[in-house]
């Protein structure tokens, strides 16, 4: 009996429940996914080992390649526009006292809302029957006469816009926290030197918040790959694959066509991508980048 | 506190720029609110303005047509079920990692960190097959276990980082009074950690309430679906009655808004401190 009450063992009993549910829900299925990606399993019947054939097939699958390309565009879009806008707004917020709380809450608010609700809002606003388009056309402007979600040229950008609209306030709060940790004597010194608003931002704020900035760049790079909700709800990857991303493509392979092996190969590739990005930032930290 | 001091003239331009972005953030949501109080006939002439005639009828209509009493019950069950399971296992683990320092605790932390970064698509399908074989598809308990596992690493780290700052003297004093480890956990650690438990509960509860992908995949029975996937179906079913859809959306948002206004600091710090949950 005594051996089971050994202090170190008791400490492990406390951790056991978390590990157990995590093992069942995430670890075991993930490892199964690694194994299934090397098979031609289709949900039932026989399961054959086919080596890396699924992966070879993926590189020849033009819809998958298209989805990867869309994810790259998505990542670049998120790394630039929301980051830039959030940096500017956070910086401007540090300069005001009155109303700062209001702006912070206003920017952050869409981040709290469900993807389903945010998509509903923008589907309505972009709809040619009810939305902004009808108001514009009453002023004689024929913009948005068709919904960008159903237009091949714009669908991907329209979806990314809605996701970015909901996400950028999150960045504002993170950057703002970082900016308040900057030593204010640096700004006082710059004021004495007669530095402009832009110069202070460029030469004091930006270098001082670099760790926070790098952190957000890392999470955007990671989060841009498994995006699913906004694409699935707004366009389901359409029209004609024009907004298909890896997440929705994998979902249709898995749950519409039941290509278990093939979709596991897609999931496996996403996992290795994340691992590489996390590893990359880990290496940068080791190299003394203070990230 | 003022970090970068701005001149008077600059202040005005600051407010203008920030004001424009605040409008971009909030105006779409305001349109949704306006629409929820508009009679359906008004949409043709007044699509995005304030309602000319305010009606409250959309809410009971949506409530009845979408059977929302059932749906709210489903979602509340998922939220509270997850909170009970997730917060209890996370506070046990957080306590152990913070105060008991077992050998190999670092490995657990690394394991959970890797676990957080695994994209859902990696394990979604095998998990679906596993749940099918275990008879957990189309059950709330099946989804509660998934949600707990997804959110537990975040909650564990948050709770650990709070408990690690509790003074060791308190635990030593309890030990001298004859309290065993379980009593130290229940009588000392838990009562002192209520702020972090509340923050974790708010963040996890919000994640469950809004969750879409796993709800879509694991519950197909209309009677068991939570509010997110129901609203998705509802918005297609009533695509020609935007008054109903807007009212239904507001019903999903209302509990979040009330809690957000009450606990905004906790929400914001919890959601950004984790920084690891979508």
**Would you list the DSSP string of chain B?**
--SS---HHHHHHHHHHHHHHHHHHHHHHHHHHHHHTS-GGGGGT-SSS--SS---THHHHHHHHTTHHHHHHHHHHHHHHHHHHHHHHHHHHHHIIIII--TTHHHHHHHHHHHHHS-HHHHHHHHHHHHHHTT-TT-HHHHHHHHHHHHHHHHHHHHHHHHTTS-HHHHHHHHHTT--HHHIIIIIIHHHTHHHHHHHHHHHHHHHHH--HHHHHH---TTT--HHHHHHHHHHHTTT-HHHHHHHHHHHHHHHHHHHHHSHHHHHHHHHHH----
Percent of chain A with pLDDT over 70: 97
Among chain A residues, CA nearest to B29: A121
CB contact under 8 A, A22 and B149: yes
**28-57 in chain A: CB under 8 A from chain B:** 28-30, 32-33, 36, 43
What are φ and ψ of residue A39, in 5° steps? -125, 170
Band of the pLDDT at A119, cuts 50, 70, 90? very high
**A96 in contact with B at a CB cutoff of 8 Å?**
yes
Handedness of CA A187, A193, A197, A201 (dihedral sign): negative
CB contact under 8 A, B90 and A191: no
Cα(B65)–Cα(B57) distance, integer angstroms: 12
Among chain B residues, CA nearest to A221: B117
Would you give the distance in Å from CA B7 to the centre of its chain?
40
**B3 in contact with A at a CB cutoff of 8 Å?**
yes
In this structure, is residue B2 part of a structural domain? Answer: no
Q: For residues B126 and B160, state if they share a domain.
A: yes
Cα(B122)–Cα(A268) distance, integer angstroms: 6
CB contact under 8 A, A226 and B210: no
Cα(A148)–Cα(A156) distance, integer angstroms: 9
Cα(B168)–Cα(B4) distance, integer angstroms: 40
Domain boundaries, chain A: 37-286
In this structure, is residue B92 part of a structural domain? Answer: yes
In this structure, is residue B174 part of a structural domain? Answer: yes
CB contact under 8 A, B24 and A165: yes
Neighbouring CB atoms inside 10 A of B196's CB total 21
Neighbouring CB atoms inside 10 A of A230's CB total 28
Q: For residues B224 and B188, state if they share a domain.
A: yes
Q: For residues B82 and B156, state if they share a domain.
A: yes
Best mutation site among A20, A68, A84, A114 for testing chain B: the one with the most B CBs within 10 Å? A114
**141-200 in chain B: CB under 8 A from chain A:** 145-146, 148-150, 152-153, 156, 181, 185
What local confidence, expressed as pLDDT, does residue B276 receive? 41
- Residue whose pair of structure tokens reads 């970015």 in the numeric block: A164
Q: For residues B13 and B85, state if they share a domain.
A: no
Condensed to tens digits (0 to 9), the pLDDT of residues B21-36 reads 999 999 999 999 999 9
Tell me the nearest-neighbour CA distance from A153 into chain B, angstroms.
Answer: 24
Q: Which of A139, A134, A114 is nearest to A124 (CA)?
A: A134
CB A166 within 8 A of CB A111: yes
Cα(B242)–Cα(B38) distance, integer angstroms: 9
What local confidence, expressed as pLDDT, does residue B49 receive? 83
Task: Quote the domain boundaries for residue B151.
Answer: 67-274
Span A73-87, mean pLDDT? 96
Of B3, B10, B125, which has the smallest distance from its Cβ to A264's Cβ?
B125
Cis peptide upstream of residue A239 (ω within 30 degrees of 0): yes
Q: For residues B50 and B87, state if they share a domain.
A: no
Of A22, A97, A267, which has the smallest distance from its Cβ to B115's Cβ?
A22
Q: For residues B180 and B270, state if they share a domain.
A: yes
Neighbouring CB atoms inside 10 A of B28's CB total 19
CB contact under 8 A, A264 and B22: no
Q: For residues B115 and B49, state if they share a domain.
A: no
pLDDT tops 80 at residue A289 = no
Tell me the nearest-neighbour CA distance from B170 into chain A, angstroms.
Answer: 18
Q: For residues B78 and B128, state if they share a domain.
A: yes
What local confidence, expressed as pLDDT, does residue A96 receive? 87
The β-bridge partners of A39 are: A49
- Architecture label for domain A37-286: Orthogonal Bundle (1.10)
Q: Which residues of B touch A254 (CB under 8 A)?
A: 124-125, 128
Of A112, A170, A205, which has the smallest distance from its Cβ to B256's Cβ?
A112
Q: For residues B217 and B143, state if they share a domain.
A: yes
pLDDT tops 50 at residue A1 = no
Tell me the nearest-neighbour CA distance from B32 into chain A, angstroms.
Answer: 6
Span A258-281, mean pLDDT? 91
Longest dimension (CA), chain A: 84
Among chain B residues, CA nearest to A9: B102
What local confidence, expressed as pLDDT, does residue B128 receive? 94
What local confidence, expressed as pLDDT, does residue B9 receive? 72
Cα(B76)–Cα(B252) distance, integer angstroms: 12
Q: Which of B59, B32, B1 is nearest to A123 (CA)?
A: B32
Of B88, B150, B206, which has the smallest distance from its Cβ to A112's Cβ?
B206
A15 compared with A145, residue with greater pLDDT: A15
In this structure, is residue B157 part of a structural domain? Answer: yes
pLDDT tops 60 at residue B278 = no
Let me know if B210 is exposed, middle or buried by CB neighbors in 10 A (0-12, 13-18, 19+): buried
Cα(B90)–Cα(B154) distance, integer angstroms: 9
B5 is written with which tokens? 């001091």
Q: What is the DSSP letter of A241?
A: T
Of A99, A121, A200, which has the smallest distance from its Cβ to B32's Cβ?
A121
In this structure, is residue B3 part of a structural domain? Answer: no
Band of the pLDDT at B113, cuts 50, 70, 90? confident
Q: What is the CATH number of the domain that holds B103?
A: 1.10.3720.10
Number of domains making up chain B: 2
pLDDT tops 60 at residue A4 = no
pLDDT tops 90 at residue A49 = no
Best mutation site among B99, B122, B210 for testing chain A: the one with the most A CBs within 10 Å? B122
pLDDT tops 90 at residue B95 = yes
Best mutation site among A116, A211, A267, A273 for testing chain B: the one with the most B CBs within 10 Å? A116
Condensed to tens digits (0 to 9), the pLDDT of residues A120-177 reads 999 999 988 888 888 887 787 777 778 889 889 999 999 999 999 999 999 999 999 8
Q: What is the separation, in whole angstroms, between the first and last Cα of chain B?
A: 30
What are φ and ψ of residue B167, in 5° steps? -65, 135
Q: Which residues of B touch A193 (CB under 8 A)?
A: none
Neighbouring CB atoms inside 10 A of A3's CB total 6
Q: For residues B88 and B29, state if they share a domain.
A: no
What local confidence, expressed as pLDDT, does residue A125 receive? 92
In this structure, is residue B129 part of a structural domain? Answer: yes
Cα(B67)–Cα(B241) distance, integer angstroms: 16
Q: For residues B264 and B140, state if they share a domain.
A: yes
Mean pLDDT of chain A: 89
ipTM given for this complex: 0.90
In this structure, is residue B185 part of a structural domain? Answer: yes
Q: What is the crossing angle of helices B242-262 and A115-125, to 10°?
A: 130
Q: Which residues of B touch A200 (CB under 8 A)?
A: 4
Q: Which of B123, B232, B119 is nearest to A221 (CA)?
A: B119
Q: How many helices (H) and strands (E) does chain A have?
A: 15, 0
Q: For residues B101 and B22, state if they share a domain.
A: no
Condensed to tens digits (0 to 9), the pLDDT of residues A54-70 reads 899 899 999 999 999 99
In this structure, is residue B1 part of a structural domain? Answer: no
Torsion of CA A118, A241, A65, A247, to 10 degrees: 30
């Amino acid at each position: 009996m005594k051996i089971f009450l050994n202090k170190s063992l008791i400490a492990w009993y406390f951790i056991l429940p978390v590990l157990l549910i995590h093992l069942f829900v995430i670890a075991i299925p993930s490892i199964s996914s690694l194994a299934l990606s090397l098979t031609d399993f289709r949900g039932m019947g026989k399961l054959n080992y086919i080596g890396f054939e699924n992966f070879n097939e993926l590189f020849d699958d033009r819809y998958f390649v298209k989805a990867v390309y869309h994810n790259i565009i998505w990542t670049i879009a998120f790394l630039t526009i929301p980051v830039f806008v959030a940096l500017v707004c956070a910086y401007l917020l540090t300069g005001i006292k009155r109303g700062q709380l209001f702006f912070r809450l206003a920017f952050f608010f869409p981040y709290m809302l469900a993807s389903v609700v945010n998509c509903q809002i923008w589907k309505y606003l972009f709809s040619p029957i009810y939305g902004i388009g009808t108001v514009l056309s009453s002023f004689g402007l024929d913009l948005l006469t068709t919904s960008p979600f159903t237009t091949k040229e714009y669908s991907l950008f329209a979806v990314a816009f809605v996701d970015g609209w909901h996400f950028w306030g999150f960045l504002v709060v993170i950057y703002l926290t970082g900016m308040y940790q900057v030593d204010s004597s640096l700004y006082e010194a710059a004021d004495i030197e007669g530095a402009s608003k832009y110069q202070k931002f460029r030469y004091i704020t930006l270098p001082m918040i670099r760790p926070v900035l790098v952190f957000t760049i890392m999470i955007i790079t990671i989060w841009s790959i498994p995006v699913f909700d906004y694409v699935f709800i707004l366009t389901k990857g359409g029209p004609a694959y024009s907004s298909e991303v890896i997440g929705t493509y994998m979902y249709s392979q898995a749950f519409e066509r039941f290509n278990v092996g093939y979709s596991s190969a897609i999931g496996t590739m996403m996992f290795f991508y994340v691992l590489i990005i996390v590893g990359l930032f880990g290496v940068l930290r080791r190299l003394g980048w203070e990230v | 506190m003022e970090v970068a001091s701005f001149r008077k003239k600059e202040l005005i331009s600051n407010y203008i720029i920030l004001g424009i972005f605040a409008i971009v953030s909030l105006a779409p949501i305001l349109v949704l609110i306006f629409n929820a109080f508009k009679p359906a006939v008004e949409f043709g002439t007044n699509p995005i303005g304030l309602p000319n005639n305010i009606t409250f009828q959309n809410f009971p209509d949506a409530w009845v047509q979408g059977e929302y009493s059932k749906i709210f019950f489903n979602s509340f069950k998922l939220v509270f079920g997850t909170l009970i399971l997730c917060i209890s296992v996370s506070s046990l683990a957080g306590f152990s990692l913070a105060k008991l320092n077992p050998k190999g605790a670092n490995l657990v932390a690394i394991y959970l960190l890797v676990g957080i970064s695994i994209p859902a698509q990696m394990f979604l399908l095998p998990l679906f097959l596993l749940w099918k074989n275990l008879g957990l598809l189309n059950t709330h308990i099946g989804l509660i276990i998934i949600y707990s596992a997804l959110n537990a690493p975040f909650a564990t780290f948050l709770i650990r980082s709070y408990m690690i700052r509790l003074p060791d003297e308190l635990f030593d004093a309890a030990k001298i009074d004859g309290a065993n480890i379980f009593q130290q956990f229940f009588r000392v650690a838990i009562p002192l950690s209520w702020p972090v438990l509340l923050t974790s509960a708010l963040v996890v509860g919000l994640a469950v309430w809004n969750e879409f992908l796993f709800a879509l995949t694991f519950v197909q029975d209309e009677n068991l679906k939570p509010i997110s996937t129901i609203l998705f179906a509802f918005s297609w079913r009533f695509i020609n009655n935007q008054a109903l859809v807007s009212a239904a959306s507001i019903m999903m948002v209302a509990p979040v808004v009330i809690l957000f206004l009450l606990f905004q600091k906790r929400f914001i710090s919890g959601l950004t401190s984790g920084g690891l949950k979508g």
